[in-house]
Amino acid sequence: MANYKLNRETLRFEEEDSILKKIALYGTLSFLLFTAGFGVGYYIFTHSGWFESSREKQLRGQLERIIAKYEELSKEVEYLNAQMSDLAFKDDSIYRVIFGVSPVDATLREGAYGGVEYARDVLDMPNNEMIASIEQKVSHLKRQVAVQQKSFDELLRQAQKWREYWEHVPAIQPVDNKHLRRLASGFGYRIDPIYKVRKFHEGLDFSAPIGTPVYATGDGVVEKVKRSRRGYGNHIIINHGFGYKTLYAHMSKILVKPGEKVKRGQIIGYVGNTGKSTAPHLHYEVWKNDKKVNPINYFFNDLTIEQYSEIVRRANSSKYSLD
């Protein structure tokens, strides 16, 4: 026989087991709701980022610093790339033109922008696109630097050759001629002072007292020293290399010997009046590839334009030579 109990809320008599069932049902539902809510809350707590652990905060800070550093490095690499492009332009358009060297092959310049092979571990890293990007930029820059370094090595070799050339080529007057009055006869046809006939004068005559110092006009090696009472008299021939030689004639005293190295501006002897000479002077010649050329074209190291013009005028003013 079932037991009944008054339900004060409904004011009805209900079976006792029915009330217990409802209580059990409500309890079960409450437990399930609590469990679900707890699960959702735990997930949000652990995955939302609202509540980070100290380790997560540390890692996030490191990542932010890495990204900031990447952006800084990326800007620096872009700046260096622009600088390298400007340097390549100057290299081809200015530096190589000065030394008479052909521009760098365009295919070599373009090759500096070729593809990049990445290390396998890079592709497996977090933020691999960012890492690959900066690695590609750095690789391009390295290739540009390598091409430019080879170009500069070539230019350096050319510069050294040019420096050696300018040190050796005859470039000054062989006697002190500050007042430009010692040039007595120029290069070309002149009247021979002894035979009184028109004859080609193959050098320049500098009138000067006996004992006036004579200077080597460029670096070189003394090729010949001869003492004579005829022709050039006591004279010296210096081999400057690069196809150049110079001759110094009618000297009173010679200070160098064959095979001796001399420097531009070094005193090699003194003006005299030996050999076929009508007055104390220095006869000076310049030979280029064994052909005698006008020495006046080789006074570019110690004369202004105005002084050079005066030298040319005086060289052409005399009809006679001194030897």
167 token code pair: 């040190």
Domain locations in the chain? 4-47, 66-168, 183-317
Superfamily holding 183-317: Glucose Permease (Domain IIA) (2.70.70.10)
94 token code pair: 């200015």
In one-letter notation, the amino acid at residue 61 is: G
Q: Using CB atoms within 10 A of its CB, is residue 24 exposed (0-12), middle (13-18) or buried (19+)?
A: exposed
What is the per-residue pLDDT for 8? Answer: 63
> How many angstroms separate the CA atoms of 297 and 283, rounded?
16
Q: Is the pTM of this model over 0.75?
A: no
pLDDT, one tens digit per residue, over 162-196 is 888 889 999 999 998 876 678 888 887 787 677 67
What is the per-residue pLDDT for 37? Answer: 63
DSSP codes of every residue in 51-92: S--HHHHHHHHHHHHHHHHHHHHHHHHHHHHHHHHHHHHHII
Q: What percent of the chain has pLDDT over 70?
A: 71
- Cβ proximity of 33 and 46 under 8 Å: no
Q: Using CB atoms within 10 A of its CB, is residue 166 exposed (0-12), middle (13-18) or buried (19+)?
A: middle
Q: Which residue has the tokens 């390298």?
A: 84
Number of other residues whose CB lies within 10 A of the CB of residue 58: 11
Q: Which of 263, 269, 282 is nearest to 323 (CA)?
A: 282
pLDDT, one tens digit per residue, over 219-246 is 999 999 999 999 999 999 999 999 999 9
What is the per-residue pLDDT for 215? Answer: 97
Name residue 253's beta-bridge partners.
Answer: 270
- The stretches in the chain having pLDDT less than 50 are 114-125
What is the per-residue pLDDT for 315? Answer: 77
What is the per-residue pLDDT for 116? Answer: 46
Q: What percent of the chain has pLDDT over 90?
A: 30
